[in-house]
Amino acid sequence: MKKLTWLLAFAPALAWAQGPFDGTWVTKMDTMKITGKPDVYLVADGVYTCDACVPGLKIKADGTDQKVSGHAYYDTASARIVNQQSVEVIVHRDGKLVAKRTLTVSADGKTMTEDFTTYDQASPASGKVVATRVADGPAGAHALSGSWRQQAQGTTFSSELITVTYKQSADGLKMSSPTGQTFDAKFDGTQVLTAGDPGKTLVSLKRIDERAIQETDTRQGKVTDVFVYKISADGKSMHIVDEDKMHGTTSTFTAEKK
């Protein structure tokens, strides 16, 4: 929610009484497109390496819970080779289960499916991410090794992970999600803490124009994402661009008003 022109700065509050962002929005996963750096994994010599993780993760692939540092949402991680095609990864924070992931490569080695469940919200939420191979791993490494890019086809998230509700005012925006995260931020760029977020994400908003807002997310002192949200002329859909600064990718997708 960035760039506010000087004209909009003097727009009357009445114009925002019924803001275009008001309502509940659901992401249409089949509209998602991702460009930029692929996700890179290596499983070899009994070690699991995730360059897609921020910061990078390198642990023994023996199923034991191991201490890690620098991660906003977890402080221990384990990796276990299930079979020649699958690897299971589990992370905890302060001894509590945060998420489970099972990454499985197809028999032809061209597709990877990640089935996940997260537990760090009011109730567990799950999903499936499908990715296509863009580069092979080294010879003799586990099938997961290599570079992968997420695709829209086949990728699904449970409804609570793709639903958000906004309430707009003349000078700001309130957000709430079914997973328990909320914020109440002004369009002046001031950072506010996202309540209910274990990673303690800070959000700042700036208005671009009447139907467009820029959101900048910061964690652990670093900008993680810059979003631009733009409402369609009929008010029924929202076009979203997410510049993921941590992973070097840009995602575009559409959300529809319920």
Closest CA to 100 of 110, 108, 109, 92: 92
Q: For residue 153, what are the CA distances in angstroms to 35, 120, 129, 150, 240?
A: 15, 27, 9, 9, 18
Q: Are residues 23 and 57 in the same domain?
A: no
Give the C-alpha separation, 218 to 222, whole Å.
5
What's the pLDDT band for 17 if we cut at 50, 70, 90? low
Q: What residues form DSSP beta bridges with 96?
A: 93
Closest CA to 235 of 6, 4, 20: 20
> Is residue 1 in some structural domain?
no
Tell me the pTM: 0.88
Phi, psi dihedral angles at 161 (to 5 degrees): -85, -15
Q: Are residues 229 and 250 in the same domain?
A: yes
> Mean per-residue pLDDT for 171-183?
96
pLDDT at 21 over 90: yes
Give the C-alpha separation, 102 to 48, whole Å.
13
Picking from 116, 138, 157, the residue at the C-terminal end of a domain is 157
Q: Are residues 153 and 169 in the same domain?
A: no
Tens digit of each residue's pLDDT (9 = 90 or more) over 210-250: 999 999 999 999 999 999 999 999 999 999 999 999 999 99
Q: What is the mean pLDDT of the chain?
A: 93
> Is residue 167 in some structural domain?
yes
Q: Are residues 104 and 12 in the same domain?
A: no
| pLDDT at residue 123, as a whole number | 85
Q: What residues form DSSP beta bridges with 215?
A: 205, 227
Question: Which strand (E) or helix (H) includes residue 7?
Answer: helix 6-9
| pLDDT at residue 122, as a whole number | 81
pLDDT at 10 over 80: no
Count the domains in the chain. 2
> Is residue 20 in some structural domain?
yes
* CATH code, domain carrying 249: 2.40.128.20
| pLDDT at residue 121, as a whole number | 85
Domain span including residue 129: 38-157
> Mean per-residue pLDDT for 99-103?
98
Q: Are residues 63 and 168 in the same domain?
A: no
Question: Which strand (E) or helix (H) includes residue 234?
Answer: none
Give the C-alpha separation, 252 to 228, whole Å.
10
Picking from 157, 172, 188, the residue at the C-terminal end of a domain is 157
Q: Are residues 108 and 171 in the same domain?
A: no
Tens digit of each residue's pLDDT (9 = 90 or more) over 196-215: 999 999 999 999 999 999 99
Residue in the structure block whose two tokens are 């957000």: 175
Query: Contact at 8 Å (CB) between 215 and 222?
Result: no
